[in-house]
Chain A
Amino acid sequence: MNKFLGYLIVLAISLAAPLFIYPVFLMKLLCFALFASAFNLILGYGGLLSFGHAAFFGGAAYISGHALKVWGLPTELGILVGALSAGVLGLAIGTLAIRRQGIYFAMITLAMAQMAYFVFISSPFTGGENGLQGVPRGMALGMIDLTNDRSMYYFVLAICLAGFLLIARAVHSPFGQVLSAIRDNEDRARSLGYDIERYKLLAFVLSATLAGLAGATKTVVFQLASLTDAHWHMSGEVVLMTLLGGLGTIAGPAVGAGIIVTLQNYLASGPLAAWVPVVLGVIFVACVLSFRRGVVGELREFLRRSF
C-alpha cells in the first residue's frame, strides 16, 4: 500500500512538473532516466557491465531521426523503428559479447560501440559531424501537435512511463529472478538447468531496445541526433548515472540520471563550465570508492536500519 502511494505521488509530481519547471529540461531528464534504467537492467540485474550502450542510444537516435525526417513516418512509428533497430544492433553485439565475461564483456561492448561510432561518423545519412538536424516533431496519434512543449512533455512522459513499467515488470518476473540468480552465481544457475546464455542475450537485447527507445525519444524532443549520443563518453555517463543512483534498484538509475543531468545543466553556465568532465570523473571515483550502493541504495539501507 505504501509503495502504491509512493507511485501515486511520483505520478502526480511528474504530471504537475511542467507547470513549474522548464519542460524541455524535464524531457531530457526523462529520456536519460529511461536510458539509465534500461542500462540498469543489464548491469544491475544481469551483472554485465556494458560499456557500449551509447551505440544503441545514438544508433536509435539516428535511425528514428532519418525515419521521421526523410521517410516522413508518423512520430510514434519513427520512434518505434529506432527502438527496434537498436534491438537488432543489440542482438548482433550481444551475441558476440556474451561469449566472454566480466572485464572482457566490457571491453568487447566498448570496442563494438566504437566501431558503430566510426560507421555513424562516416555514413552520409547521419550528417557526420554536423549531425542530423531539423527532425520534425510531428503529431501524436495524428492529432496532438507536438511542437508545443507541454504536449510534447506528456507524450514523452507516457513513453518513458511505459518503458519504466516494462522494466519493473521484467525485473519482478521469473525472467528477472533467473537473471539475478545468474548474476549472483552463474555456475549454480547453470547447474539448475538454465540456459544462461539465452537469458543474458535476452536481457541485453531488451536493454538495448529500451536504450534505443530513450535515444529515439530524445531525437524527437531536440529535433536532432548527433555524434554525442553515440560517443563512448555517453556510455560512460550512463554507467555513472546508474552507479550514482544505485545499481539494481528500480528508482536508482532515474535518480542518478536526474542528478547528473541537472548537474551538467547547472555547471555548463557557471565558472566551472570547463571542468564538467573532471567533476564527473571525481563523482565516478568517489562513487566507486565509498558510495557503491548509490543514492537510492544508501537511502534504503538507512531506512532499513532506522526502522
Chain B
Amino acid sequence: MKLFKKLAASASVLAMLASGASAEISDGVVKIGLLTDMSGTYSDVAGPGTITAAEMAIEEFGGTVAGAPIELVSADHQNKADISANKARQWGDTEKVDAFAELVTTSVAMAVFEVAKQQNKIALVSGAASSPLTNDACIPTGLHWTYNTRALGVGTGSAVVAEGGDSWFFLTADYAFGEALQGDVSKVVEAAGGKVLGSVKHPFPASDFSSFMLQAQASGAKVIGLANAGGDTINAIKAAKEFGIVEAGQKIAGLLVFLSDVHALGLDTAQGLQMTVSFYWDMNDETREWSKRFFEKTGKMPTGIQAGTYSAVRHYLKAIEATGSDDTDTVLAKMREMPVEDMFANGGVLRTDGRMVHDMYLAEVKSPADSSGPWDYLKIVRTIPGEEAFGPLSESTCPTK
C-alpha cells in the first residue's frame, strides 16, 4: 500500500515536471468563472450582459492564450452570498477555475473574496460597489475594477457643491451600503465647504418615497442626495418629479445611478440628473465601436459594469499571455506592472490594495430635446482623474496593501 502511494506520488511529480516544461498553464486550460445576477434586481446593470462582455474579451484572443484554450463558465448567483460561495468553492475545488469575475453586489463579492483568499485565486470584481472591498475587507488577490462608492460620492458630491449646491439632505437606504454611501459623500461635501443638514433613513426596499421626499423638502436643503440604489433610486426620483420638488428649486443628486436606470426612468423624468459613471458608450470612437458590437449581441447599450467586466477579463488574459503562466502570483504581478489600456480605461493602474484606478466621468442626463434617440442619454460634463476619484493609496485601510 505504502509503496503504491509512493509510486503514485512520484508519478504525479514526474507528470507535473513534464507538463511544466511545455507550458505553465495549469490543467492545460485557462478557466474563468463568472458569477452574476441573471434574473434579479441587478440583472439589467450586470447580468447576461457581463457574460457577453467577457466573451468579447475572450474572442479578442481568438479563444486561446499562451497556447491553452480559454474557457468561460458562468452561473446565476441570484444575489445570494451562500450560493455564490458554494459555486465559487466548487469551481475552484473541482472544476479547475483559475479566476472569478463580475460578482455584482457586495455580499457576493465578499463571500467570493473569502473563497478566493483560501484558494489563492484572482477575483475580478466589477459589479459590487462598496469601497470596503479595497479597504477593510480587501484580500491580496481581490481586484476591484469598475467603480466604488467613494468614487461616486466624490464625483457627484464635489461637482454639485462646486455648482453652489452647498446644503444637503440625504435619503438613505437603511442598511450598510446606504450608510457607507452617505458617509463617503458627506465627507466630500463637507470638505468642499458644504453642509449636511440632515438625513432620513428609509426602509429597504421602499416603494413609496413621497413621504421621505416631503421631509427632504421641509429640510430646506438645496440638494437632496439619494444614498440608495436600483429600484429605490428610481422610485425616489419619480416621487421628486411628481411632487414638484425639482421645480420648486431643489436639486436631486443620484449617487448610484446606472445607464439602465436612466433608460427605465425615461429622459422626461430623469433629465438634469447628475451622476458619476465609470463608462459611457458615446465617449469616443473606440467606445462607440465596442458598444455597437455589444448592442448587436444584446440589444442594449453597455453599462459601466459590463464594460468593466470586459476590461478586467481582457487585462487578466493579457497578463497570462505576457507571462505564459496562469499562476496566481505571477499573473497578479504582471497585471500590476502593465497599465490597463483598452476602450474602458486609459492608463489604468492596479494598486496593491486591489483598486484599479482609472478616470471617472461626471455626466448629466440630457433633456428629451437634446437627445437624438434611444440610448443617447448622457452628456459628459467633466473627467474626474483617477487619483481624485479613488483617493490615494495612503488613504486605503487595506491591511495587506
Q: A: which residues have CB within 8 A of B? A: 22, 24-25, 28, 118, 121-122, 124, 127-131, 133-134, 149, 218, 222-224, 226-229, 264-265, 268-269, 273-277
Contacts and interface: CB of A to CB of B under 8 A. Distances in A.
Query: Which 8 interchain pairs have the tightest Cβ spacing?
Result: A128-B175, A273-B76, A128-B176, A274-B39, A226-B81, A228-B80, A269-B75, A274-B38
Contacts of B86: 24-25, 28, 222, 265
Contacts of A124: 176
Contacts, number: 110
Contacts of A149: 93
Most chain A beta-carbon contacts within 10 A, residue among B83, B87, B105: B83
12 contacts: A25-B86, A127-B176, A129-B175, A131-B107, A133-B81, A133-B114, A133-B137, A222-B81, A223-B85, A226-B111, A228-B83, A273-B39
Nearest to B33: A269
A268 B204 contact: no
B174 interface: yes
A118 B206 CA distance: 11
Nearest to B83: A268
Residue among A28, A127, A277 facing the most chain B CB atoms (10 A cut-off)? A127
A121 B111 contact: no
A228 B81 contact: yes
Contacts of A121: 174-175, 203-204
B130 to A, nearest CB: 7
B106 interface: yes
B111 A133 contact: yes
Nearest to A269: B75
Contacts of B105: 129
A275 B78 CA distance: 11
B111 A131 contact: yes
Interface size class of B (residues with CB under 8 A): 35 or more
Contact of B75 (A134, A228, A229, A273): A273
A130 B87 contact: no
Interface in B36-83: 38-39, 43, 48, 73-83
Contacts of B93: 22, 24, 149
B81 A224 contact: yes
A265 B176 CA distance: 29
A131 B81 contact: yes
Contacts of A274: 38-39, 43, 48, 76
Nearest to B180: A130
A222 B82 contact: yes
A277 B86 CA distance: 19
B263 interface: no
A218 B82 contact: yes
Contacts of A228: 78-83
Given A122-B204, A129-B175, A275-B39, 12 more contacts: A121-B174, A122-B175, A129-B106, A222-B85, A222-B86, A224-B82, A224-B114, A228-B82, A264-B83, A265-B86, A268-B77, A276-B78
